[in-house]
């Protein structure tokens, strides 16, 4: 799997809003950024007639916005993992659950068995309140469950994370 990152500058909350006494610099613009610990690798191991595995990486959002931020996840264009013409679609799970055979998904709970499928539209991964001038970490775990009939090789999927400052 590979992950893309978008970052931007956002504007601070108006005077009188946000967190009183927050330890952030005074000014008209605050910043928000995402750092990723690297691309997760999922190694599959046999379990009867299927292969399954999980892997994770950590995102650190640094934000001086006094209200907080929302972290979004999506797969642009297609949520399928691909290996040439072979595909493994994203799970149809909209809440954490066991993966169906020949599907993949993610979670932020650290579970190695319960996952949600990505979509091609952004969905909220985390809703965090307050400034995080020293960074706020989120571990994203990915899981794959594939049948023995899937072609061997490396499957990849594009995942985009976006952090957006909240406003009151």
pLDDT (0 to 100) of residue 112? 93
Residue 9: band (very low, low, confident or very high) from pLDDT cuts 50, 70, 90? very low
pLDDT tens profile 59-115: 999 987 778 899 999 999 999 999 999 999 999 999 999 999 999 999 999 999 999
Q: What are phi and psi of 150, to 5 degrees?
A: -70, 145
Work out how many domains the chain is built from and give that number: 1
Residue 41: band (very low, low, confident or very high) from pLDDT cuts 50, 70, 90? very high
From 101, 92, 85, select the one nearest 44 (Cα to Cα).
101
Parent domain of 116: 2-165
- Give the predicted TM-score (pTM) of the model: 0.83
pLDDT tens profile 139-163: 999 999 999 999 999 999 999 999 9
């Amino acid at each position: 799997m590979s992950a893309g990152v978008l970052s931007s500058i956002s504007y601070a909350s108006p005077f009188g809003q946000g967190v009183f006494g927050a330890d952030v610099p005074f000014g008209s613009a605050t910043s928000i950024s995402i750092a990723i610990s690297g691309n997760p690798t999922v190694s599959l191991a046999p379990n009867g007639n299927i292969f399954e595995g999980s892997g994770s990486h950590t995102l650190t959002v640094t934000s001086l916005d006094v209200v907080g931020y929302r972290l979004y996840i999506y797969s642009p264009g297609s949520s399928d993992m691909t290996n040439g013409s072979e595909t493994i679609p994203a799970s149809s799970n909209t809440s954490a659950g066991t993966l169906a055979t020949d599907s993949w998904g993610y979670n932020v709970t650290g579970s190695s068995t319960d996952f949600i499928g990505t979509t091609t539209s952004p969905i909220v991964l985390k809703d965090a309140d307050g400034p995080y001038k020293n960074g706020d970490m989120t571990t994203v775990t990915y899981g794959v469950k594939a049948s023995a009939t899937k072609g061997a090789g490396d499957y990849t999927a594009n995942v985009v994370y976006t952090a957006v400052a909240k406003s009151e």
